[in-house]
Amino acid sequence: MNVKIATAQYDISFLADWSGYRQKIERWVAEACAQDANILLFPEYFSMELASLFAQEIYSSLSNQLVAMQSLHDDFMMLFKSLAQQHHCIIQAGTFPVLIDADVYHNRAYLFMADGTVDYQDKLMMTRFENEHWLIKGGKELKCFDTEYGRIAINICYDSEFPLLARKQVEAGCLIILVPSCTDTVAGFNRVKIGCQARALENQCYVVQASLVGNASWSEAVDVNVGAAAIYTPVDRGFPDNGILSVGIFNDVQWVIAEISLSACAKVREQGQVFNHKDWPLQVDLVSS
């Protein structure tokens, strides 16, 4: 089965109202679907531009932003649900900070299906900024999602740097791992990039990274954003020699779109030059003995 994936280098904006946000998202989705994309991936925390819709005393305060954004959560959900149904595609709508309990937020990645169903993966591993400044807590459940294109997993940004998470999902049958990311330094971007490529190498699967780009001086949370979206592959016969199927121009605003073959993963796992996926248990035996 072949699947066309669109992953975003999405620019954060200062918006006038909800209508402006809706029109921007509709434009992005329509552009990807006009190129026959089946799965669309947006970046981590791309929803934070919604904080610009509120008064300055709110959008200039991180804690106030998180509180105010809850009033837009239902509208956010309805927008992406309707677009996934309208365009008959799967949309991984980046992440949205969701209030779970009193002063407890999760960084949540929603997955909107073409049939109207919705599921989510919470970020599991928190960065220092999330722990120390945002007070966002990590989720506890690692999921896999059954779709018309097979099983899909989500590793949110920092999660992609921890190999046992992706491995668990791959062992459950996932061939595509979506990585919405938000990084404010080149080093941070490269950490996620290297993590994504390593996960694709060791699991002989596809890993797709989306990046938030552009500056938002009005926001303490996402004031600086750098990166490039990409679709990473195994590094073996039948795939690019560098394991990069497609990558965007660093910090440009664009979709990165490419077609992947799910059967190619099964083939390389059986006929590849190396057997990273199959040989994974050997290392476990070596270190546990």
Question: Which amino acids are annotated catalytic?
Answer: 44, 123, 157
C-beta separation of 124 from 108 below 8 A: no
> How far is residue 43's CA from residue 224's CA, in Å, rounded to a whole number?
14
36: left (phi over 0), alpha (psi -120 to 50) or beta: left
| Alpha helical stretches, state H, the chain | 18-33, 56-59, 62-69, 73-87, 128-129, 163-171, 186-203, 262-271, 276-288
Calpha distance 264→133 (Å, rounded): 43
Between strands 244-247 and 96-101, the pairing is: unpaired
Q: Angle at which helices 276-288 and 186-203 pack, to 10 degrees?
A: 100
Residues of 173-188 as b/e, b for ≥16 C-beta within 10 angstroms? ebbbbbbbbbbbeeeb
Six-digit token string for 171: 């062992």
| Among the listed residues 95, 92, 72, the one whose alpha carbon sits nearest the alpha carbon of residue 83 | 92
Residue pair 21/53 in contact by the 8 Å Cβ criterion = yes
**What pairing do the DSSP bridges indicate for beta strands 206-215 and 174-181?**
parallel
| Rounded Cα gap, residues 99 and 92, in angstroms | 19
